[in-house]
Structure 1
Amino acid sequence: MPKLWNETIETHRSAVRTAILDTTAALVGEQGLASVTMSQIAQSAGIGRATLYKYFPDVDAILDAWHERQVQAHLKQLAQVRHSADGPERQLEAVLQTYAMISYSRHGGAEAARLHQGQHVSHAQQHLNDFLADLLREGAEVGVFRDDVAPDELAGYCLHALEAAAGLTSREAAHRLVRVTMSGLRPPAGTPHLRPEEIG
Structure 2
Amino acid sequence: MPRIAAPTNAAQRAQTQRKILNAFGELLFTHGLPGLTMTDVARTAGVGRTAVYNYFADLEQLLVAYALDETGKFVIELKSQLDGLENPVDRLAVYVRAQLADLTRRHLPPGPAMRSVLSSESFEKLGVHVGELNTLLMDILQDGMDQQYLPPADVDGLVQLIHGSLTASASRRNADTPDEERIEAAVRFIQAGVGASFDGEGHPVKLA
TM-score normalised to the size of structure 1? 0.71
Counterpart check, 1:178 vs 2:187? yes
Q: C-alpha offsets along residues 130-150 of structure 1, whole Å, 9 cap, x if unaligned?
A: 11111122222211122x213
Deviates more, 1:115-124 or 1:62-71: 115-124
**Which one has a larger percent helix, Structure 1 or Structure 2?**
1
Instruction: Determine if the alignment matches structure 1 residue 123 to structure 2 residue 128.
Output: yes
Give the match for residue 163 of structure 1: 167
- Structure 2 CA distance for partners of 1:39 and 1:177, relative to 1, 3 Å: closer
Task: Say whether 1:91 aligns with 2:91.
Answer: yes
1:105-124 superposed Cα distances (whole Å, 9 cap, x missing partner):
454889x9348753344433
1:77 Cα offset (Å): 2.6
What is the count of residue pairs matched by the alignment?
182
Q: Does 1:153 align with 2:162?
A: no
Distance 1:145 1:14, change over 3 A: same
Q: Distance in 2 between matches of 1:31 and 1:183?
A: 35
Coordinate RMSD, CA, aligned: 3.4
Cα distance in 2, alignment partners of residues 78 and 10 from structure 1: 30
CA contact (8 A) 2:93 2:191 kept: yes
Map Cα deviations across residues 49-77 of structure 1 (whole Å, 9 max, x no partner): 44332211233432332222222222223
Relative contact order, higher structure (CA 8 A, sep 6+): 2
Contact 2:150 2:196 in 1 (8 A): yes
Work out which of the two has the higher radius of gyration on C-alpha atoms and give 1 or 2: 1
Equivalent-residue separation in structure 2 for 1:105 and 1:63 (angstroms) = 16
Deviations 1:19-54 (A, max 9, x none): 111123334555665665444544543444443322
Give the equivalent residue in structure 2 for 1:54: 54
TM-score by length of 2: 0.69
Say whether the 8 Å CA contact 2:137–2:159 is kept in structure 1: yes
Q: Name the CA distance, whole Å, in 2 between partners of 1:100 and 1:42.
A: 29
Q: What is the identity percentage for the equivalent residue pairs of Structure 1 and Structure 2?
A: 23
- Amino acid in the other structure paired with 1:134: D
1:66 & 1:107 partners in 2: Cα distance? 12
- Structure 1 distance, partners of 2:29, 2:167, is 22
Mapped partners of 1:126, 1:79: distance in 2:
14
Match of 1:71 in 2: 71
| Structure 1: runs of 5 or more not aligned | 1-6, 194-200
Q: C-alpha displacement at 1:16, in angstroms?
A: 1.5
**Greater CA drift, 74-83 or 25-34:** 25-34
Q: Could you tell me whether the CA contact under 8 Å between 2:68 and 2:129 is conserved in 1?
A: no
